[in-house]
Structure 1
Amino acid sequence: MLGDDTSRDRLWRTAARQRGYFTAAQAITAGYSYQAQHFHVGRRNWIRIDRGIYRFREYLDLPSGDTDHLVRWSLWSRGLAVVSHVTALAVHDLGSANPAEVHLTVPKGFRAKDAAVVLHHAALEADGIEQHEGFKVTTPRRAIAESAAAAVDQEVIDSAVSEALSKGLASRRRLLHAAQEIGARAELGVERALREVAE
């Protein structure tokens, strides 16, 4: 019954859409005071991930996905960051990208920093973004173009373009258009990759 809805039920529903992660603000909205939050962290019911970011303990016992940690960075940015560049290539399983850092594109006025992430400031169009479970990511064609613009190794771009085409995730025309929108370096990298695929 609706009347039996508890704070934990409400918070769990929110966290379930975010792979078990939630913020202190979301916990407040669900009905947990800061004192109650402190209690649950102390009892290890919630695992403290970062300042104001937690995860339900139960999720530590579940199989984790390769992209679970990206939800944390979405919450850290208050939903403003979009996973991008080579990190987005890895999310889309394109090519040989295996980034050591997490690449995020954030609005130009974004001020937060963390040594674990590489921030790129740009205004993204809605058609260049996809929603994944708990985080946003740039589309395959945008991820390829922005990686080329960032002078990622050409072999990574070549393999990503080849797989994007073979999986039907992008056409040659749309890849070139996405690169042209970003700039000359992106266009050059994508053109080289398209020539490599054609040979």
Structure 2
Amino acid sequence: MPTDRDQWPRSVRRDRLWELAAAQRGYFTAAQAVQVGYSHQAQRFHAQRGNWRRVDRGLYRLREFSVLPGEEHDSHVRWWLWSKGQAVVSHVSALAVHDLGVANPAEIHLTVAPGFRRRDERVVLHRAELRPEEVEGREGFRVTTPLRAIVESAADAVDQDMIDSAVAELLDRGEATRGQLAQAAQRLGSRAELSVERALRAKGT
């Protein structure tokens, strides 16, 4: 059944889609396209014409963004939309976002709620209930804070060198104290505690 949005001039629909997608590095979902006036038939047309690049089922990217030089964290926006806004970039992927230490993950790590059901072999999913203060927003996606990223990576038993370098840089930046690191690690268990303790000793005074 036609809606008022279907009657919007093409220029209005285009402007609304551009405004939405520009805040998401050019990505948008089929549902978002419907919200700004593009029927599913219109979506198929634009995908077939090459105006939109189909990234995944129900997920597109504007052609203009596909040919521009990519931003470092473009893929994080893509997976945030895939998760319908539920996933948070975390663990070593979050360390890389915050430019902490030597983290350079080959896979994208995301934290989702225990009841999250979607899966994809291209991402590593961690299940946890994150507190609001453990998450911060970026353009088009969310990421765990530097403090949380370190302790959750430590709990995940990543290489000690990675934790050592991340802890040293966090302290040098003045973004957390030794006490805050120790306390945050304690909440995630003995493995995180031991790894962070070793990193603090390696850092020295």
Contact 2:50 2:63 in 1 (8 A): yes
Aligned with residue 129 of structure 2, among 118, 123, 132: 123
Unaligned stretches of 5+ residues in structure 1: none
Q: Aligned residue for 2:177?
A: 171
Q: Aligned residue for 1:31?
A: 37
Residues 77-156 of structure 1 mapped to structure 2, 5 A cutoff = 77-156=83-162
Unaligned stretches of 5+ residues in structure 2: 1-7
Shift of 1:25: 0.2
Amino acid at match of 1:37: Q
Amino acid at match of 2:166: A
Shift of 1:168: 2.1
Identity over aligned residues, as a percent? 62
Q: CA RMSD in A?
A: 1.3
Q: What is the TM-score normalised by the length of structure 2? A: 0.93
Take 1:74 and 1:56, find their aligned partners in 2: how far apart are those partners? 17
Amino acid at match of 1:88: A
Take 1:196 and 1:175, find their aligned partners in 2: how far apart are those partners? 14
Q: Which moved more, 1:39-48 or 1:174-183?
A: 174-183
Q: Which moved more, 1:132-141 or 1:178-187?
A: 178-187
Take 2:80 and 2:174, find their aligned partners in 1: how far apart are those partners? 28
Q: Aligned residue for 1:13?
A: 19
Deviations along 1:62-89, whole A, 9 cap, x unmatched? 2211110000000000000000000000
Amino acid at match of 1:21: Y
* DSSP-derived class of the 1:31 partner: coil
Deviations along 1:16-61, whole A, 9 cap, x unmatched? 1101100000000000000000000011110011111100010123
Shift of 1:8: 1.1
* DSSP-derived class of the 2:196 partner: helix
Take 2:181 and 2:124, find their aligned partners in 1: how far apart are those partners? 24
Q: What is the TM-score normalised by the length of structure 1? A: 0.96
Take 1:51 and 1:168, find their aligned partners in 2: how far apart are those partners? 43
Shift of 1:165: 1.0
Take 1:170 and 1:72, find their aligned partners in 2: how far apart are those partners? 30
